[in-house]
Every structure is written in C-alpha cells, then in structure tokens.
Amino acid sequence: MNLEKLVAVARGEAEADLLLTNARIINTFTAEIEKDNVAIYEDKIAGIGDYRKAKHVIDLKSKYLAPGLIDGHVHIESSLLHPAEYARAVVPRGVSAIVTDLHEMANVTGLKGIRYLMDSVRNLPLDFYFTAPSCVPATHLETAGAELGAEELKATMRLKNVIGLGEMMNFPGVLMRNPQVLQKIDLFKNKVIDGHAPGVTGKDLNAYVATAIGSDHESTSFEEGKEKLRRGIRLMIREGSSEKNLEELLPLVTDKTYKRCFFVADDRTCSDLLREGDIDAVVRKAIALGLDPMRAIQMATINTAEYFRLHQVGAVAPGYVANLIAIDDLKKFNVSMVFHKGRLAAKNGKALFSAQWEADPEITHTVNIKTFSIAALKLPASKKSLPVIEIVPEQVSTKSIKTQVKTRDGLIVPDIERDILKLVVVERHKATGNIGVGLVKGFGLKKGALGSSIAHDSHNIVVVGTNDRDIFAAIKEIERLQGGLVAAVEGKIKGSLALPIAGLLSTEPLENVVAKLEKLQKIASGLGCVLPSPFATLSFLALAVIPELRLTDKGLVNVVAFKLL
C-alpha cells in the first residue's frame, strides 16, 4: 500500500481506483445511515464524501452499503466442501471473512492437514482467520488420528492469519487443572482464546473464565447466556444446521448488551449454505424475530471484528479494508453485490470468480480400519435396562435416558417400534479394532442404516441402523470410498457421497455435493427418518464434550461425569 497515494486519494487530489456513488452507507460505529459516495484505493477505503475522480465508477442507486459479513466461529469442514467451493457458496451471500478453527481436519491429519487447507485459501476473495485447534484430541475418551500438544501449537502460531486459540472444549480439563490444557491456554495468553462451555455455571464458570477465555457459542438457554454475559464472556449466538439457538438467546440482545454479542454458524451444511445462506441467513432471521436491522448488521460485522482484534475490518470508513456488500432491502437483507478488497467478487447471488485446486494425496487415504466381522457389532444383553442416547431436536446436546431394551437370543436388538436403534462407532485412524456399540433414540428409521466418516471430534466412522447387516454394509462402503456419507438397505448401498479429503471433504463442485447430500437426505426420509439434517445430527453423537451421553470408539461416555460407562 502506497500511503502517500492513499492520502492523496482521500484528500481528493488523486483519482480513486473505484468510486461507489449514491450509496446509503451503514455506519456500524454510530448506527446511522449516511447518503454519500465511497472512494476506494487498492484494497482500502480512502474516504467518504463528495468524490468524483475514479478509474471505475459504480452507481449504487441508493442501495445500502454495509461492511462484509464476518462468521465469527465456523468449521468449514462441516460444509463437506473444499475451501474454494465453500467460498463459492458464502461469498455471494455477503460473507467477506470467517474465523475458523480447523479442528476437524487437525483431528484426522494434524499439522499436515492444517497447512493444506491454509494453502488452499490464499487466492480466494474471502478472508480466512484461523484459531489454533486447542483440543486434538478433544478428550482421552476416543481415538483421534493426530495429537497437537503445546509444541505443535507453537508451530501454528507462526502460520499466517492465526489470531488465537480455538475453542477450549476440554472444559473438564480446565476445571481439573490439567497441566497440558493450562499450558496451551498460557501459550496464547496475549491473544484471543475462544471457549466452549456447555452448561457450565457458578464457580465452575468463574474458574473457566478466570483463565482469560473470552467467548462461548454453546449457550442454549436464556439463563445460561445471561450468566455468561454477566461473567464477561462474549456471547456467540449460534444458528447452524443442527444447532439453533438464535430464537432463545435473542432476547438477551439489548441496548446495554449488544456490543458483547455476535453471530456465528459453527456448523452449516452445504445444502443450507446454497439454499438459505450463511451469516446472512442468521441476520435475516434475527430481523424477522424483531431485531433492528442496524443492530443485526453490527452483530455480524464490527462486533465480531472488535472481539477478534481485527483492526480495519467491519466498518465502512477511511483506512478500512474495502470488503463491502450492497443490499437492496434491509429487512429482506438481499445482498446484490459483494466487493472483496475493492474488487467485485459476486453479483446477484453469483460468484464472479473460480479457483483451481488439487487434493493432496497424503490426506486422501485416511480410513484405516482393522478387519472385523459382522459379529463384532453384537451387543450382549447383560441388563434389562440400559442408558440410551436421546436426540434433542435442533440442538447438539443429547439426553441420557435409561429404558428397558429389546432382546433376542441373549442379544440386544433395535426396537424399531419404540425408535430405539443401534449406534456404532468404528475407529478408522490407527486400525486399533475399537468398536463402540450403543443405542440411540430420535432418528425414526424404520429400515436400513445411515453412516458417516464425520463424527465430531475425532471423526471415526459412525453408523445408526435398524439391523447389523445394513450397519456393516455402510461401514464397508465408507471404507471403500475412503470416507463419505452412505445409506444402506437390505445389505445394499442406496446412496453415497464420497469425502476422500481426510474423510471430511468432497473433491466435487458445490452443486454436485449439494445434489448428492439432498438425495441422501431424501433416501433417509424414505427410510422413515424424521430429522431434517440426519447426517449432521449423526455426526455429533460421538462428541464427548457436550452433555449428556455420547458414544465413541471406546464405548458409551457420560459427559457430565467425563468417564466411560
């Protein structure tokens, strides 16, 4: 950046590279709307006012001009898309920057996968800011593909655009004063440290926050969110594909608290990104629920930027990065133009860019299962009643219920009439032979099985099914694909989506991935599944850091007690 030229453009003494005229500018500092022109030099806003000299001029014809949206906490891996395709999905929606914790890729491939994804985003019209994965593995209660200790995290601090420590999911490790956990936190003491504290209250919350953890996206109730705000936590209001907390938490946003709140997606499927959008969809819903559009835009831009210390991002102002969006109607929040660093990147919902990329062979063969027979899926009937994982609709949390189980010939079998199905997690990184077998309620399947190589956080293979034959068929197909989503019926594969990049991401274009995912969801519905996003829900059933009950490759986990049952 030539500062001398920038100052000259700002003073009106030199022509701008781009001039946006007749704009209704959203001022995220003062919550005002200003009607004026915006002069841009290279990738920066030079000034706002009566500018007339420019190489290129675009008349916005009284469209609203706002800073580009920022997703403050998202795992891009949940989209199933390569970063280039992810950008094609979200940039036309007005998203100019994301803060992502490459936790999923790291749990499979370690630093190698992190570097691959970081290299993949360099030439995209989307700013990627990274937080170093704090929990690889997330717990000792499952088997991951990699391990990142303090020394490895030191290496990540030297990587470009690493701005802090990713969500500290191992909140029991913090509360129990685990030396390795505290060492990681201390390493990032001068940077932003994200939190993850579902249901943590009282003195435990005090202890968690005392370590300088600054945010949390796991609040699911009004009271939980209020307590965290009172203790100094920035409230990340999450609205993803399978975890929807916006409606419950939005009443916490007032004139006194709004600066401490911002929007995040956390996990959003490619289908939702294409059909509904990303943070723009959250903004629209918040406005529909009664939030002032100006507040909604502040919570999707400047609030996020200020928490993450992203200077010169999140506002339409001199010296700020020219990441801008033009909006036709504030209430409908329809984004018609997207500028990234002063260049038009999308118009009328269409990306004006393409990206060339290649998959790294080193991270496309990560499914390594020890050979086993279908007999390994049997569950002996040692007791008449057992703990069952019960799905909580539209939430990532689960309930633990104890109920009488159905048995046959000394074995526990799925009880389709009562919607108690078999759940299986197979270790797929180190061929340990670990297989966790349990029961789950809430899918509604009447026949067949659904399987995935996405199973937060260690991403072993997880399958839910009505019988062992279909469960086994699903596992074998995922192994053959080297990762993916599958549906099996009567021992045959009815549909699949290959995810060969670490068993998490597709190598196909956005539209193809969405078509295959939606086909799988229709197949699941045809099998009786009652969940709108069954594969997203399935992927969280091994997540041993969110209460109450989970299943990993090591067995059934009581998350509240943080131990294997």
Residue pLDDT, tens place only, 461-509: 999 999 999 999 999 999 999 999 999 999 999 999 999 999 999 999 9
Residue type, 53: K
Inter-CA distances, 179 with 182, 221, 554, Å: 5, 31, 24
549-552 and 461-465: which strand pairing?
unpaired
What pLDDT does 20 receive?
98
Tell whether the model's pLDDT for residue 277 goes beyond 90: yes
Instruction: Kindly state the percentage of the chain with pLDDT values over 70.
Output: 100
What pLDDT does 384 receive?
83
What pLDDT does 416 receive?
97
Radius of gyration of the chain (CA): 24
Tell whether the model's pLDDT for residue 194 goes beyond 90: yes
Mean predicted confidence (pLDDT) in 539-544: 94
Residue 216 burial (C-beta neighbours within 10 Å; 0-12, 13-18, 19+): buried
pLDDT digits (tens, 9 = 90+) for 294-316: 999 999 999 999 999 999 999 99
Q: Whole-prediction pTM value? A: 0.92
Residue 444 DSSP class = -
Tell whether the model's pLDDT for residue 546 goes beyond 90: no
- Collapsing DSSP to helix, strand or coil, 320 comes out as coil
Residue pair 69/95 in contact by the 8 Å Cβ criterion: yes
Residue 130 belongs to what H/E stretch?
strand 127-132
Tell whether the model's pLDDT for residue 222 goes beyond 80: yes
Residue 434 DSSP class = -
Mean predicted confidence (pLDDT) in 324-351: 97
User: What's phi and psi for 478, nearest 5 deg?
Assistant: -60, -40
What pLDDT does 394 receive?
79
496/91 Cα distance (integer angstroms): 28
How confident is residue 242, by pLDDT bands cut at 50, 70 and 90? confident
Residue 360 burial (C-beta neighbours within 10 Å; 0-12, 13-18, 19+): middle
How confident is residue 156, by pLDDT bands cut at 50, 70 and 90? very high
What pLDDT does 445 receive?
98
Q: Which residues contact 177 (CB under 8 A, 6 or more apart)?
A: none
- Closest C-alpha to 169, from 199, 202, 206: 199
What pLDDT does 139 receive?
87
Tell whether the model's pLDDT for residue 355 goes beyond 80: no
What pLDDT does 99 receive?
98
Domain architecture of the chain: domains with CATH = 68-315 (3.20.20.140), 364-564 (no CATH)
Please give the mean pLDDT across all residues of the chain. 95
How confident is residue 362, by pLDDT bands cut at 50, 70 and 90? confident
What pLDDT does 15 receive?
96
Tell whether the model's pLDDT for residue 353 goes beyond 80: yes
**DSSP codes joined into one string, 250-265:** GGG--TTTGGGEEEE-
Token pair belonging to 86: 């992810």
Residue pair 531/452 in contact by the 8 Å Cβ criterion: no
| Secondary structure in 3-state letters for 322-367 | CCEEEECCCCCCCEEEEEECCEEEEECCEECCCCCCCCCHHHCCCC
Tell whether the model's pLDDT for residue 243 goes beyond 90: no
How confident is residue 36, by pLDDT bands cut at 50, 70 and 90? very high
Tell whether the model's pLDDT for residue 54 goes beyond 90: yes
Mean predicted confidence (pLDDT) in 131-154: 93
Measured between its terminal Cα atoms, the distance across the chain in Å is 59
What pLDDT does 78 receive?
92
User: What's phi and psi for 101, nearest 5 deg?
Assistant: -105, 110
Residue 2 burial (C-beta neighbours within 10 Å; 0-12, 13-18, 19+): exposed
pLDDT digits (tens, 9 = 90+) for 424-454: 999 999 999 999 999 999 999 999 999 999 9
What pLDDT does 357 receive?
78
**DSSP codes joined into one string, 94-120:** TEEEEEEETHHHHHHHTHHHHHHHHHH
Cis peptide before 329 (omega within 30 of 0): no
Residue 388 burial (C-beta neighbours within 10 Å; 0-12, 13-18, 19+): buried
Burial 395-410 (b: 16+ CB within 10 A, else e): bbbbebbeeebeeeee
Inter-CA distances, 215 with 128, 236, 435, Å: 19, 7, 35
Q: Which residue has the tokens 């109450």?
A: 548
What pLDDT does 2 receive?
93
426/435 Cα distance (integer angstroms): 5
